[in-house]
Amino acid sequence: MYRTRGTHFVLAFLAVILLPVFLGAAELPDYKKYTGPIKPGVVITKANWDTYLPELQKLLPPAKLKYMSGGIREGLVTMPIVKTTYNLSTKGQMEATRKYAGTARVGADNQLTNWTAGFPFPEPKNAQEVVWNCNPTISRTSAHDDLLFYSWFGLFKGTNYEKHFLWDLFVRKYRGRTDIPPLGDMKDFTENGVAFKESFLVHTPNEVKGFIQLRIRYWDLNKLDEVYAYIPALRRLRRLTGSDNNDPILGSDVVFDDFEVWRQKLDSRMKVRVLEHRDYLVPKTYVGMENKPAYDYKKTGPYVQVEWELRPQWVLEIMINDPDYVYSKRVVYVDAVPLDQGGCYLLYWGEQYDQKGRLFKANGQLAPSASKEGFKNLFNWLYMNCLTDHYTVMDGYPTYVKGFRETIPLKEEEAFSIKGLLKRAR
């Protein structure tokens, strides 16, 4: 009897300790290929939207379906379906991924160990590995080693234009650099544990010209970001903490953690699982500045005319488990094309739920961009408030498709210091 009770105690103890690992480490669901009538050559328009609606409900996330319904029904854009195209990631990133494949591990606290560079898990086996392949701290294809992005940032109520901003966005990784010198780990990581820095500088309109925000993210999952903002009207530098980081940027539909779908830091409280693995419609990736889709907000409002393709996605649920955070969970749509076939773990779309469980906000790619060398980012991006039908559209370009040699690598003192950014603002 005592032995049986002891066995039950041990089993119960192990279940409590290992359950979080098992929840995150469940096998990925089988891939379900779409075989319906929406295929290359089909063009979805105002005239046939209702005919294709049952199929579109299978191929678009809920918020994306709502958004596209407005643009199609108003006749502002169409959805031409084209053959899926594939382009590999950069040479350095692919080489690092092959070299270090099989070494990285994820612990029960979500911490990544034994990672050096490249995608940690080229053939992911569970949700935690998918999360780290698309994680904003180290693996994000679209941020890469150094990034300078020029942006027009327009706000809309429905299809009605309200105002816009012009700003520059800078990003630098300090660990696991694979393509842009200096390669490997930089001094700020080895000595201070900095994983990446990001800053942006507003040029227009005049009432906020010179507004600057600088974020420093640390490798330690449980060490909070340092966030600073220079407010020109006050001529003061403020350190942002707590709920400040959840506030919308300049009255838009965006909080900093929504950049590129998911910029929120992964931490030990989060629980993740893959809900589905199937085909979705996503905007085609446009290679080269010469192929950037034309956009005129006066004609199409918050909608951009692009071509669409079918790609497999992992539908990844991220439970945040922080009652003080603006969202209770995120559902993100991650590119699931195998890496050696032109996949990149790009985040195409994300939906954020408030603490009451309501679908609150969503954002994602309107026109992904790429260079011939494999650098990936965006040309157009959408942020939407699902409760108010308010939209923010980002239209711009990263310098790796124009002016790469003149701007990259970034100069630390100019891009990631308040003093240097202020000088640039003048």
Per-residue pLDDT at 138: 75
What's the DSSP call for residue 95? H
Could you say which residues of the chain have pLDDT below 50?
1-24
Per-residue pLDDT at 140: 67
Residues with Cβ within 8 Å of 394's Cβ and at least 6 positions away in sequence, in order, are 151, 152, 153, 378, 380, 381, 382, 383
Per-residue pLDDT at 319: 98
Quote the tokens at residue 308.
């669409």
Instruction: In whole angstroms, give the CA distance from residue 53 to residue 44.
Output: 10
Neighbouring C-beta atoms of residue 426, cutoff 10 Å: 6
Angle between helices 62-73 and 49-59 (to 10 degrees): 160
User: Domain ranges in the chain?
Assistant: 91-143+152-162+253-407
Residues with Cβ within 8 Å of 128's Cβ and at least 6 positions away in sequence, in order, are 24, 25, 106, 110, 272
Kind and range of the H or E run holding 351? strand 347-353
Closest CA to 384 of 248, 227, 283: 248
Per-residue pLDDT at 241: 81
Per-residue pLDDT at 406: 93
Instruction: In whole angstroms, give the CA distance from residue 316 to residue 61.
Output: 12
Quote the tokens at residue 286.
């446009």
Sign of the CA dihedral running 72, 78, 83, 88: negative
Per-residue pLDDT at 222: 86
Per-residue pLDDT at 2: 32
Instruction: In whole angstroms, give the CA distance from residue 370 to residue 263.
Output: 20
Closest CA to 148 of 381, 375, 303, 419: 375
Q: Are strands 112-113 and 105-106 parallel, antiparallel or unpaired?
A: antiparallel
Query: Helix, strand, coil shares of the chain as percentages rounded to 5?
Result: 25, 35, 40
Residues with Cβ within 8 Å of 350's Cβ and at least 6 positions away in sequence, in order, are 258, 261, 262, 330, 331, 332, 333, 362, 363, 364
Closest CA to 274 of 14, 10, 13, 29: 29
Q: Is-contact 374 88, C-beta < 8 A? A: yes
Q: Is-contact 38 264, C-beta < 8 A? A: no
Quote the tokens at residue 159.
């299809």
Per-residue pLDDT at 364: 97
Quote the tokens at residue 426.
């003048």
Quote the tokens at residue 397.
């370009």
pLDDT tens digits for range 357-370: 999 999 999 999 99
Instruction: In whole angstroms, give the CA distance from residue 320 to residue 45.
Output: 38
Q: Kindly list the distances between the CA atom of residue 23 and the CA atoms of 20, 127, 135, 147, 314, in Å, as whole numbers in the listed order.
A: 5, 9, 19, 35, 16
Could you give phi then psi for residue 237, rounded to 5 degrees? -100, 125
Residue with structure tokens 């080229």?
122
Per-residue pLDDT at 246: 80
Per-residue pLDDT at 5: 42
Per-residue pLDDT at 27: 83
Per-residue pLDDT at 256: 86
**What burial class does residue 404 get, using C-beta atoms within 10 Å of its C-beta: 0-12 exposed, 13-18 middle, 19+ buried?**
middle
Per-residue pLDDT at 251: 82
Per-residue pLDDT at 83: 98
Side-chain-side CA neighbours of 341 within 13 Å: the count stands at: 9
This prediction's pTM: 0.92
Could you give phi then psi for residue 299, rounded to 5 degrees? -95, -40
